[in-house]
């Protein structure tokens, strides 16, 4: 069902519409329609014939507009759902027991007069959905509006799963000229550093050492389910009548790349159902939040007075001038609803029905932990981003810790991180792969002398980065920092 294209201009004003401005400008109060004053008890009574909202007709959908209504005639009369396999036919809306015939249009929040124009008025979200009305699905009885995490399947190691041998590579050295060039480059990257110490310093000793950066990764798959909804537009419904839904871990879902974060959302088969929209009670529209259903708002230019106070510089007197925004009426047509007082439901998008189904969310996450072994006074955090050489790497379903490396600190931390990942992430999801990597990052501590200063700096990583906290000229001559 769709609306015909808009016609040029406004249609002639019939009974219940807006009459043209009278002499002096402005819109007089609407006659023969609109919204009557609130009844005793603070409610908002349904409008009378000649404007407002007519009661729902047999067959559902929007009833044919009466004379003076704001909506053009629809092209199709009757049910909204098209004749497709699995499509659900609409039924006329009827209030439940104890439910108001005009839900959402009663209460103390309905103003007695046109409200102040509020451009930021948010759409009413309506009441929360009642999951009990949807009905349970076999195997998904615990699923609600929030994520429910099913327990992952138990890991069974494959047969003949043995530990492979550990093999390591070696690193490289650093010459005196490479150390000097690294210091000159380091000073060039700092505008306030003086160049003379970098060019004239005398290297007394180069002490090579090796830092090890160990990284443990677990590629984890976790799954969660919850009820979600989307506007029902007549699409085919795969409901429980087509069979039993598969379990959360029985649905096939694969990732495109290992050790890369990825999220997939899948509709669980045979769980879809069609329910009346809980937000608009199956009407397809709701009260306009900007004008509270009245169709007009108080003019923001004159604040509802219909005129403005002006000062005439020639006569040196104040006088009242008719507001040109509202033509003296003090009210303006609501731009949110076009003066109709209602807007399309933001939950069902005007379709009146919602398709509910259980959504399976599959997350592939790379869980990373690392440790740095470095025995100089240089900060260990610098090693993590420095370039090095991979001397050991294994990728298996379950990795074994390193036990035969020459540095005992690497062996101890590898065992600790592997045990932590296995015990922690087996409960959080299904472990698809594990990978641990050991990098060799070269570190050189250089003792040097410049004039009367004896100090040191470090050159580390394959890029020959420099860490020189005691550089003599950290602020060059003539440099003024404002």
Q: pLDDT for 291-310, tens place per residue? A: 888 888 888 888 778 777 77
For residues 226, 231, 232 and 235, what is the CA-based torsion angle, rounded to 10 degrees?
Answer: -80
CATH number, residue 296: 2.10.230
Residue 390 to residue 169: CA distance in whole angstroms: 8
Q: Are residues 340 and 367 in the same domain?
A: no
Instruction: Note down the domain range covering 313.
Output: 285-344
Read off the pLDDT band of 147 (50, 70, 90). Answer: confident
| Domain identity same for 332 and 391 | no
Q: What percent of the chain has pLDDT over 90?
A: 44
Taking a C-beta distance cutoff of 8 angstroms, is the pair 214, 405 a contact?
no
- Residue 345's closest CA among 296, 275, 277, 290? 277
Range 380-408 average pLDDT: 93
Are 335 and 394 members of one domain?
A: no
pLDDT for res 383: 95
In a domain, 44, yes or no: no
- For the cut 50, the answer to whether the pLDDT of residue 170 exceeds it is yes
Summarize the confidence of residues 117-121 as an average pLDDT.
Answer: 64
Task: Return the CA Rg of the chain.
Answer: 37
Inside any domain, residue 425: yes
Kindly report, residue by residue over 233-263, the tens digit of the pLDDT: 999 999 999 999 999 999 999 999 999 999 9
CA dist., res. 213 & res. 367, Å (int): 16
Alpha-carbon distance 102 to 341, whole Å? Answer: 14
Identify whether residues 312 and 395 lie together within a single domain: no
Same domain? For 409 and 463 the reply is yes
Residue 404 domain-assigned?
yes
pLDDT over 80 (residue 365): yes
Whether 206 is in a domain gets the answer: yes
Q: In this predicted structure, which of 119-128, 146-155, 184-193, 400-409 has the lowest mean pLDDT? A: 119-128
Q: Is the pLDDT of residue 166 over 50?
A: yes
Structural domains in the chain (count): 2
451 and 381 within one domain: yes
For residues 166 and 161, give the distance between their C-alpha atoms in angstroms, rounded to a whole number: 16
CA–CA separation, 184 and 194 (whole Å): 10
CB-CB neighbours of 350 under 10 Å:
19
Q: Is residue 314 part of a domain?
A: yes
Contact criterion met (CB below 8 Å) for 464 and 257: no
Cβ atoms of 250 and 446 closer than 8 Å: no
Confidence band for 112, pLDDT divided at 50, 70 and 90: low
Per-residue pLDDT of 25-43, as tens digits, reads: 433 443 433 434 444 443 3
**pLDDT category, 376, cuts 50, 70, 90?**
very high
Q: By C-alpha distance, which of 211, 164, 165 is closest to 438? A: 211
**476 confidence band (pLDDT: 50, 70, 90):** low
The residue among 369 and 79 whose pLDDT is bigger is 369
pLDDT (0 to 100) of residue 65? 37
Averaged pLDDT, 182-207: 90
What is the rounded CA–CA span in Å between residue 250 and residue 308? 71
Per-residue pLDDT tens digits for 70-88: 333 333 333 333 333 333 4
341: phi then psi, degrees, rounded to nearest 5: 90, 0
The enclosing H or E element of 384 equals helix 381-384
Q: Among 146-155, 260-269, 294-303, 461-470, which is the least confidently predicted range?
A: 146-155
Same-domain check for residues 427 and 340: no
Give the list of residues 6+ apart from residue 205 with CB closer than 8 angstroms, or none: 446, 447
> Residue 297 burial (CB < 10 Å; 0-12/13-18/19+)?
buried
Mean pLDDT, range 303-323, rounded to an integer: 78
Check residue 2 and give its pLDDT: 42
Per-residue model confidence (pLDDT) at position 216: 97
In this structure, are 375 and 450 located in the same domain? yes
Q: Is the pLDDT of residue 430 over 60?
A: yes
Q: What is the mean pLDDT of residues 326-345?
A: 88
The mean of the pLDDT values for the chain is 76
**Are residues 375 and 461 both part of a single domain?**
yes
Span 188-198, average pLDDT: 88
Question: Are 384 and 413 found together in one domain?
Answer: yes
462 inside domain: yes
| 81 inside domain | no
At residue 140's C-alpha, the angle toward residues 136 and 141, to 5°, is 50
Rounded percentage of the chain residues whose pLDDT exceeds 70: 70
Indicate if the pLDDT at residue 413 is higher than 70: yes
pLDDT at 197 over 60: yes
pLDDT band at residue 318 under the 50/70/90 scheme: confident
Does one domain contain both 297 and 378? no
Lowest mean pLDDT: which of 62-71, 116-125, 178-187?
62-71
More confident residue, 176 or 122: 176
Report the range of poorest mean pLDDT among 60-74, 230-244, 268-282, 460-474.
Answer: 60-74
| pLDDT band for position 110 (cuts 50, 70, 90) | low
Report the pLDDT value the prediction gives residue 157, as an integer from 0 to 100: 73
pLDDT at 473: 84
Listed residues 315, 344, 373: the one ending a domain: 344
Same domain for 371 and 406: yes
Q: 214, 436 in Cβ contact below 8 A?
A: yes
Give the Cβ contact number of residue 272 at 10 Å.
23
405: in domain: yes
- In what helix (H) or strand (E) does residue 381 lie, and over which residues does it extend? helix 381-384
pLDDT of residue 111: 60
Q: What is the Cα–Cα distance from 295 to 337, expressed in whole angstroms?
A: 7
pLDDT for 257: 92
- Residues 383-397, mean pLDDT to the nearest whole number: 93
């Amino acid at each position: 069902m769709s609306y015909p294209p808009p016609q040029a201009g406004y249609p002639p004003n019939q009974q219940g519409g807006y009459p043209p401005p009278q002499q002096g400008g402005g819109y007089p109060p609407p006659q023969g329609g609109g919204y009557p004053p609130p009844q005793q008890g603070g409610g908002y009574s349904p409008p009378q014939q000649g404007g407002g909202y007519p009661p729902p007709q047999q067959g559902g959908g929007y009833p044919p507009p009466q004379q003076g209504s704001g909506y053009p005639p629809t092209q199709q009369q009757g049910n909204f759902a098209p004749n497709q396999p699995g499509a659900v036919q609409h039924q006329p809306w009827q209030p439940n027991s104890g439910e108001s015939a005009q839900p959402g249009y009663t209460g103390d929040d309905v103003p007695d007069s046109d409200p102040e124009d509020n451009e930021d008025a948010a759409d009413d979200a309506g009441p929360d959905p009642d999951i009990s009305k949807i009905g349970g699905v076999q195997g998904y009885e615990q699923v609600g509006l929030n994520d429910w995490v099913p327990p992952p399947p138990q890991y069974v190691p494959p047969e003949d799963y043995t530990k492979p041998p550990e093999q390591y590579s070696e690193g490289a050295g650093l010459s005196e000229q490479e150390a000097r060039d690294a210091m000159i480059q380091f000073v060039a990257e700092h505008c306030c550093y003086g160049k003379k110490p970098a060019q004239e310093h005398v290297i007394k000793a180069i002490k090579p050492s090796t830092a090890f950066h160990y990284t443990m990764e677990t590629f984890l798959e976790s799954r969660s389910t919850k009820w979600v909804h989307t506007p029902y537009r007549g699409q085919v419904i795969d409901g429980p009548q087509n069979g039993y839904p598969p379990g959360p871990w029985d649905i096939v879902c694969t990732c495109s790349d290992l050790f890369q974060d990825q999220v997939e959302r899948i509709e669980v088969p045979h769980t879809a159902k069609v329910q009346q929209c809980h937000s608009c009670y199956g009407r397809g529209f709701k009260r306009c939040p900007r004008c509270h259903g009245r169709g007009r708002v108080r003019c923001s230019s004159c604040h509802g007075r219909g005129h403005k106070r002006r000062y005439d510089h020639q006569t040196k007197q104040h006088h009242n001038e008719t507001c040109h925004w509202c033509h003296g009426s003090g009210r303006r047509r609501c731009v949110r609803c076009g003066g109709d007082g209602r807007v399309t439901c933001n939950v069902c998008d005007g379709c009146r029905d919602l398709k509910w189904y259980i959504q399976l969310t599959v997350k592939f996450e790379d869980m990373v932990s690392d440790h740095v072994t470095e025995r100089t006074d240089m900060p260990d955090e610098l090693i993590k981003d420095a370039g090095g050489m991979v001397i050991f790497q294994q990728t298996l379903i379950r990795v074994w810790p390193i036990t035969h490396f020459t540095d005992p600190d690497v062996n101890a931390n590898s065992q600790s991180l592997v045990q932590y990942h296995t015990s922690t992430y087996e409960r959080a999801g299904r472990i698809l792969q594990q990978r641990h990597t050991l990098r060799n990052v070269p570190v050189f501590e250089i003792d040097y002398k410049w004039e009367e200063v004896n100090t040191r700096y470090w050159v580390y990583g394959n890029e020959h980065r420099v860490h020189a906290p005691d550089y003599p000229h950290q602020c060059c001559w003539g440099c003024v920092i404002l």
